[in-house]
Amino acid sequence: MAIGSHNEVIHQVVNKTAMIILNRPQALNSLNYSMIQKIHPQIRAWEADSDVQLLIMKGSGDKAFCAGGDIVALTQTHKKDGKYGFTFFPDEYKLDYALGTYSKPYIAIIDGVTMGGGVGLSVHGQFRVATERTLFAMPETGIGLIPDVGGGYFLPRLQGKLGMYLALTGYRLKGRDVQLAGVATHYIQSNKITELEETLVGLDQPSIKNVNEILDSFHKESTSEQHDFILKSEMDKINRVFSGASLEQIFENLEKDGSEWALKELNKLKRMSPTSMKLTFRQITEGGQLSLEDVFLMENRLTQRCMEDHDFYEGVRALLVEKDQKPQWKPDTLEGVTQEKVDWYFSKLPNGREMTLP
């Protein structure tokens, strides 16, 4: 067994299996820049190492896989140096893309809170294992950002208009529903994680086939009881309402529906950043036709622009720093978000800031 530790990231190799452990449990394993810098070269080295044939990533503790990027530090540091966000986001996306295109079997054990940056570390891999403690969400429209880390790729590929709904509302999925939604590929009880890891580590020749067979077996054992998807009864409404040809039409559809559910969703959307929602609508709409690489290039433009605008800083202040829960969006109406402004967000970045992926 080879073990290395950089405090915030622990890496080890047992038999043919390499493991990354996100080790900031006091911060719900939120992802910072130094962690990105440690993980990316390590997984590349393992990819080139013939002695390593399987990669597993998990979080330390029992509360979170990864609660997202450390966006408080991100916004505060960028305010001081004017550069940090321009480095953090592209390097985060390069890591996510490397995991999404990994040439060896990759399993993310998303036990506990898995949001934002934690979704990016997991959702593009071949295998994502949820437990009863998993809590998934992409809550970015509520903080003036967009559901990035490849959200423009995986969200529109979920069933019906579920991805658009999750992207705009930040709805939280828990436990088995994370797997039934298609965000996770498998579901197991958390008390089976150690046994699962031991079984995987015991493989002398890990492959997509035998790893999948093991995961299927554990999944079957943990899902013997019937469980209907939590949004099953709402999916027809979600598909109808969120198929609007524009964000404004989605708002109109909710108003016309007038049901308790529709009004609740409408009130939820009215609290979100109008700019973020307009960007997210176009991101999810266009992302359904783009490759994973092109989605990351698009999202890099969007998040770079967020660092140059107002709402991201305001959302972080209101929800995560001062916590008054009263963000003052600029503009504060959908009508105030011009097409010109949206086009600027999606436009090519100047001064060599466009991201390139290998």
Query: What does the pLDDT average to over 11-23?
Result: 97
Dump pLDDT digits (tens) for 181-201. 999 999 999 999 999 999 999
Q: Is the pLDDT of residue 1 over 60?
A: no
pLDDT for res 99: 98
Instruction: Kindly name the residue from 59, 68, 69, 120 that is annotated as catalytic.
Output: 69
Give the pLDDT score at 351: 84
Would you call 286 a catalytic residue per the annotation?
Answer: no
Residue found by looking up tokens 């972080």 in the block: 316
Q: Given this model, what pLDDT does residue 48 score?
A: 98
Is 140 assigned a catalytic role? yes
In the predicted structure, residue 358 carries a pLDDT above the cut 90: no
Q: What is the mean pLDDT of residues 133-148?
A: 98
User: What are the strands of the beta sheet with 64-66, ordered from one edge?
Assistant: 64-66, 113-115, 135-137, 173-174
- Give the whole-angstrom CA distance, residue 264 versus residue 285: 24
Active site residue 69: yes
**Catalytic member of 68, 112, 116, 117:** 117
Is 112 known to be catalytic?
no
How many degrees, rounded to 5, is the angle at CA 279 between CA 289 and CA 273?
A: 150
Q: What is the pLDDT of residues 290-348, one digit of tens each?
A: 999 999 999 999 999 999 999 999 999 999 999 999 999 999 999 999 999 999 999 99
CA–centroid distance for 300 within its chain: 14
- Please give the distance of CA 61 from its chain centroid, rounded to a whole number: 20
Residue 249 has pLDDT above 50, yes or no: yes
Which one of 92, 96, 148, 311 is the catalytic residue? 148
292, 101 Cβ separation under 8 angstroms: yes
pLDDT digits (tens, 9 = 90+) for 86-129: 999 999 999 999 999 999 999 999 999 999 999 999 999 999 99
Catalytic residue, chosen from 92, 140, 177, 293, is 140
